[in-house]
Structure 1
Amino acid sequence: MNARLATLPSAETPRALDWNVAVGTAVRLMRPGPEVPRAEAERAVRSLRRFSVEAETHVRELTGLGLDLPVVEGDVVDRPDWARGAAFGLAELTGAALSTADSLPARGELMGEISARSAGMQAGVVLAYLGSKVLGQFDPYGESGVEGQRGRLLLVAPNIVAAQQSLGVPSDDFLKWVCLHESTHRLQFNAVPWLREHFAAGLGQLLSQMDGGNAELLSRLPNVVREARSGSRADSSPGIVGVLELLQSPEQRAALDRIIAISTLLEGHADHVMDAVGPQVVPSVGTIRQRFTDRRNGGGLLDRIFRSLLGVDAKIRQYAQGAAFTDHVVDRVGMTGFNAVWAQPDNLPTRSEITEPEAWIRRVHG
């Protein structure tokens, strides 16, 4: 199941966390995957590789994106290899973002008193938790090794098999369904030439706004409490994420809104595509979607708390909001009309337009 994994970049600047420590911590803490007979595991690996190619072909036919690009087989990995791949991608993304930031706070302001090593250990804990949950991931910043394609599609075989068994759905149908989602992400970044750099630049803008120390954050806390009590921020996210947003300055919030809007669009578009393609390719797509949605919203108390702290629950809301936006726009102006989002960065929906797709249609289509 080993992927083509690049060596993790070293921490060349004081502000970088130690990604090698993160990977080492994650691998030590990670639980083993489900026990599967060798023949079944080998079959799953072969199927995922084949379906990753077939899925992208179906996605291209539906969306019209990337019709002239080469189709590349996905990398089927186990949990430790996913952690290595994810860490490499995050290191590349943050490096690209930092290089585009207009100005950056000093190490003491950006990371406080946390050393690169201890930050790496904390990141490793997060990777260990996510490593047992993630089914697949497209890393736009990895190297595919294929001319005309950038990024790497990682399919975490143990997690996919475990989820399929837990849901009690047909194996091939579920594997194809997962591949449809991740192949959509690969097309988004490879068929839209400016998206990769635009996303990194957006993150860089967010980082460049993180120049307020703890004292500045604490000075805004009384206003946060008043706004929360009065309900004057009706558009804020609930729970911990909402409090963090309220603590941000207007500039920080605007930068975060841009990142959230892009992420919500990408995830929702992928969910729309996997279900729209599904009936012809995945006969049990309706059952899979219902059971998978229930699984996303489930979990024990500790699991739900951890998901909230990591922002996983906020990401789940992104899937729903982004899919609703895509469904509405495609219903109103068709897939060709929807594809105007990829024409230029200014055509991307704002965070408010994600929940008001008619506003986006009026702005872009007049």
Structure 2
Amino acid sequence: MLRRLFGGQDGNFDADQLEQLRAMGVDPAMMEGVMRQLQAAFSSAPAGGISWDVAQRQALHIANQSDLGVTSGQRGEFDQAFALAALWLGEVTTISELAEPARALTRGGWVEATMPVWQELAEPVATSIADALTEAMRSQAPDDMQQAIAGAGKVMRTIGGSLFASQLGQVIGRLSLEVVSGGDVGIPVMPDGRAAILPQNFDDFGRDLEVPEDQLALYLATRELAHARLFRHAKWLRLHVISQITEFARGVHVDMDALEDLASRFDPQHPDELRQALESGALLPQRSDAQTAALTRLENLLALIEGWVEVVTADATGRLPHAVRIAEAVRRRRAVGGPAEKALGSLVGLELRPRRMREAAAMWRAVTDAVGPAGRDALWDYPDLMPTSDDIDDPSALIARVQAHARGEQPVRDEMDEALDALLRGDVPPASADDETGDDPPEEQRPV
């Protein structure tokens, strides 16, 4: 029966084999139905073993259950808010407008628009979990089953990958009930140059703020446009953020001891424990040093993005009487996050929190006061101009560089500049005596 399942053979299962399951307390009819469903899933699985369609279906199922849609009145209100926000932003930033108009989006529409990015971020973790399940099955199977297990690698990858994809879909579906806008989670999950607000979640967010709805709509529309404009202007920025996240995710591996302990107690009739283990991050061990370094770089990058957006939004919405109050509510919300965002962090081992947002915002404010919006925004033109972590701590050196550039002064040359000029001129330094003789260094100096 296993050979027929793993080999993807068609046809009926052996009735005698199924009947033998009755002695084990298993309903043969129920088992046959389960086997047929598994066989159909395995035969239609993609080559990589992970069906991301499962994640999207799960997410859409949750999002659409409570989706009230977008009325024509809501669409008109947010169209007006985005139009006015675009005018205000034009007064405080040199970064140009979006090519496409922003729009009001349903929860299901947000899931469909953002799922490709979630897939890209989660794929390294999904692959790691699928590989771990395959290895756990191989290591625990008896010797007489090793041959069958060896031919079931794709099947086990499908099981692990589909299980993870299903959990990811549930988390993204719940996240669609919380996010207010496309840039609400701080990373570029919307397609490039797109901005959106979810009116249903906007109503939930503003219910207890005691702020006029039109002011809240204008503030959030301005913030969303600023976020989308930044990523459209700095075309390298999206890849930079995604690569930092995937670099972190590639280092994620599964705690085999925790997995084996869970497998020894696992009851297929009660899979809640496995689901909870995936969502809580219990199968992901502590971060490695490389992951910690990658996470620090990512947190600094997100803080720079969020800080710039906060400063530009504050300047653009200075006319709103409740702008400061709304800004503080948004800042608290980004710092704490909602239940679904926390579940996403546990699932992929990554929290998307701009922990240094206040410090980064203070840096951008100092830069704006010193050199104006044009000098500030020019720092996003190229990756090598972007402020560093040290600049967040003390922006004085950054401000001095930007002011010197505005005056037309050339930066102070260093050894790297001299070496590059020599290389371009073809001035290759003479080889050392050791290089000419080809002698090896002493044994104690050789790399291990």
1:226-276 deviations in whole A, cap 9, x for unaligned?
xxxxxxxxxxxxxx99xx9973234x3333333322222112211222211
The alignment yields a C-alpha RMSD, in angstroms, of 4.3
1:127 has 2:147 as partner: no
Matches within 5 A, 1:93-108: 93-94=120-121, 107-108=127-128
Match of residue 111 from structure 2? 83
How far apart are the structure 1 equivalents of 2:101 and 2:233?
17
**Cα 1:327/1:31, change in 2 over 3 Å:** farther
Note if contact 1:140-1:152 (Cα within 8 Å) is conserved in structure 2.
no
- The two structures have a TM-score, normalised by structure 2, of 0.57
Match of residue 320 from structure 1? 358
**Cα 1:352/1:31, change in 2 over 3 Å:** farther
Matches within 5 A, 1:17-28: 17-28=50-61
How far apart are the structure 2 equivalents of 1:213 and 1:299?
25
How far apart are the structure 2 equivalents of 1:84 and 1:276?
33
**Cα 1:51/1:142, change in 2 over 3 Å:** same
Tell me the CA shift for residue 111 of structure 1: 5.8
1:14 has 2:53 as partner: no
* 1:117 alignment partner, SS class: helix
How far apart are the structure 2 equivalents of 1:214 and 1:80?
34
1:265 has 2:325 as partner: no
Match of residue 147 from structure 1? none
1:247 has 2:247 as partner: no
1:48 has 2:78 as partner: yes
**Cα 1:356/1:120, change in 2 over 3 Å:** farther
1:171-217 deviations in whole A, cap 9, x for unaligned?
1111111111111111112222332333344445445x5287758xx
Match of 1:137 among 165, 170, 182: 182
Match of residue 218 from structure 2? 176
Letter in 2 for 1:115: G
How far apart are the structure 2 equivalents of 1:278 and 1:154?
18
Note if contact 1:18-1:119 (Cα within 8 Å) is conserved in structure 2.
no
Query: Once the two structures are aligned, what percentage of the paired residues are identical?
Result: 23
Letter in 1 for 2:61: R
Letter in 2 for 1:168: E
1:196 has 2:238 as partner: yes
* 2:197 alignment partner, SS class: strand
Structure with bigger gyration radius: 2
Letter in 2 for 1:210: G
* 2:377 alignment partner, SS class: helix
Gaps of 5+ in 1: 1-9, 99-103, 144-149, 216-239
Note if contact 2:179-2:198 (Cα within 8 Å) is conserved in structure 1.
yes
Gaps of 5+ in 2: 1-43, 134-158, 257-279, 404-410, 412-448
* 2:251 alignment partner, SS class: coil
1:68-125 deviations in whole A, cap 9, x for unaligned?
x55522131122222222213333x549xx9xxxxx8994578633722111122123
1:273-304 deviations in whole A, cap 9, x for unaligned?
22111123x3321232244445667799x789
How far apart are the structure 1 equivalents of 2:225 and 2:190?
15
How far apart are the structure 2 equivalents of 1:200 and 1:304?
17
Match of residue 326 from structure 2? 288
How far apart are the structure 1 equivalents of 2:214 and 2:315?
17
**Cα 1:128/1:190, change in 2 over 3 Å:** same
Match of residue 142 from structure 2? none
* 1:317 alignment partner, SS class: coil
1:346 has 2:384 as partner: yes
Match of residue 57 from structure 1? 87
Higher relative contact order (CA 8 A, sep 6+): 1
Paired residue total: 309
How far apart are the structure 1 equivalents of 2:286 and 2:165?
27
* 1:73 alignment partner, SS class: coil
* 2:195 alignment partner, SS class: strand
Tell me the CA shift for residue 62 of structure 1: 0.9
